[in-house]
Structure 1
Amino acid sequence: MTRQHQKPILQPSASFDWIIGSDDPGASHRIAQETSWALLDRVRAVADPEIVARVLEVASGEGINDIAELWSRESTHTLAGVLWRMYLLRRIVAADAAGAADLFARGSQRIGTIDPIVAGAQEPVSPESIAVLCDAILRGAFVGDLGDALDRAASYARIMAAGAADLADERDPHDDAHGSVLTTRALRYASIARELDAGAGRWRNGTLG
């Protein structure tokens, strides 16, 4: 599924400095829409493994700051919004793969749904396998069906929510502050899961902006 739109040249973040504090409230939104659709369309059109690898590497490098500046405030009614959430999930793993693997392992045991199957987790769960999983999910957005990739990402986020809740329950009696942080993290993962589910539905019915 593609959308008719103008395809601007993707520019360095410095070219977008004027957006920050702009009097035009729609400027940032328009740039986010145009850049996200242009990126998706061009990566798919080229179908070059090296290009796909570079797009994925953004999540673990400084390029994530450019994407955050452009896309992080977009809703799940937009392609930019759902792609940002997928990049965010991968970025969290890049920052703390061991912690993410622990939450995922806990969540897989606790959740009691088919989400581990949908996410496609490899056993045993390790920092390396969780990074591979998140790469595969993000790659699917650019080389496969975006709806399926969003389904996988939503399942992953639900598992992480369950894992964070499980760890929060374990820590609460010993460290109320840390337990509270983990509970908040569980709620955020659950929220991302719902947002990605909604994005998948909009992709399939053609209403993703």
Structure 2
Amino acid sequence: MLDQNAAQEIPGDLAPADREEIAHTTAAVVVHRGRASEDPAVIDRLVRLVEDEGLDVVAGLWADAASNTLPGALWRLYVLRTWVRHDPQTVTLRYRLGVGAAPVSEVVAGAVTPPGPDDLCDLADAVLSGVFTGDLDVALERAGAFCRILAAGAAHDADAREASDDLAASRMTHGASALLRTAEELEHAGALWRAGMLE
């Protein structure tokens, strides 16, 4: 794992090729170390990577990676988990609103019905744990399904608020679009992993 001091020693103006190489190397090390370990403490530490190392450190490594790469997929998973952990009430509301519009995605996402904030935090951890202990493609597809449900919920909420708060509705619609794009990116990354092409 790259600690805070080591991350700060990486020059800020790396050439794009060097930055890309660091992103791919660290993502591969994280995933392969987790998959090679049977120690639950190692898996737990990898799931809590952002909490341990800080989102800024992880962002410095993976945030610029393309969505069809391993570091790009990991970045999306960690950002999704961070959102669930920091705002579980909003995520729970969006999930509940979106379930009716995306029932197939609910089955794939694997959440209980109706989920509470703690259930969704556990689901986010379970999806990320699946990256290291299960089939990565399944974990990515579950995360994609989860994002589809949240996107449907955000769109539904935007429609309900449009008459009373047009600006908030517009922000929610934009958020729904971003969640749908993230869902598609995660699902595509899962297909690439299955084909042996996610690096």
TM-score range, shorter chain: over 0.9
Is the contact between residue 19 and residue 27 of structure 1 (CA under 8 Å) also seen in structure 2?
Answer: no
Alignment counterpart, residue 18 of structure 2, candidates 13, 21, 27: 27
Q: CA deviation at 1:110?
A: 2.1
1:118 and 2:129 correspond: no
Give the 5 Å matches for 1:93-108: 93-108=84-99
Asked whether the 8 Å contact 2:95–2:149 carries over to 1, the reply is yes
* Preserved CA contact (<8 Å) 2:99 2:149: yes
Aligned to 1:85: 76
In the alignment, the residues of structure 2 paired with residue 189 and residue 16 of structure 1 have an alpha-carbon distance, to the nearest angstrom, of 29
| Residue-pair matches, total | 198
C-alpha distance in 2 between matches for 1:118 and 1:60:
27
Q: Is structure 2 residue 86 aligned with structure 1 residue 70?
A: no
Q: How does 1:54-203 map to 2 (within 5 A)?
A: 54-60=45-51, 63-111=54-102, 113-203=103-193
The two structures, once aligned, show a CA RMSD in angstroms of 1.4
The amino acid that maps onto 1:14 is N
SS of the residue aligned with 1:123? coil
Q: 2:20 corresponds to which letter in structure 1?
A: H
User: What TM-score do the two structures reach when normalised by structure 1?
Assistant: 0.90
Rounded Cα–Cα distance in structure 2 between residues aligned with 1:154 and 1:64: 21
Give the Cα separation in 1 of the matches to 2:86 and 2:61: 21
8 Å CA contact retained: 1:150, 1:199? yes
Could you tell me whether the CA contact under 8 Å between 2:7 and 2:57 is conserved in 1?
Answer: no
Identical-residue share of aligned pairs (%): 34
Distance (Å, rounded) in 2 between the aligned partners of 1:120 and 1:11: 32
Cα distance in 2 for residues equivalent to 1:13 and 1:196? 28
Q: Quote the Cα distance in structure 2 between the aligned partners of 1:144 and 1:105.
A: 27
Shift, 1:14, TM fit:
3.4
Pairwise CA distance, 1:60:
4.3
CA distance in 1, matches of 2:2, 2:77: 22
Cα distance in 1, alignment partners of residues 198 and 79 from structure 2: 19
CA distance in structure 2 between the aligned counterparts of 1:129 and 1:202, rounded to whole angstroms:
29
1:42 aligns with 2:33: yes
Aligned residue identity for 2:187? D
For residues 85 and 56 of structure 1, the distance between their equivalents in structure 2, rounded to whole angstroms, comes to 13
Point out where structure 2 has 5 or more consecutive residues left out of the alignment. none
The whole-number CA distance in structure 2 between the counterparts of 1:177 and 1:61 is 36
SS at the partner of 1:76?
A: coil
Any stretches of 5+ residues in structure 1 without a counterpart? Answer: 1-9
One-letter amino acid matched to 2:146: Y
Which amino acid is the alignment partner of residue 184 of structure 1?
H
Q: Distance in 1 between matches of 2:30 and 2:52?
A: 17
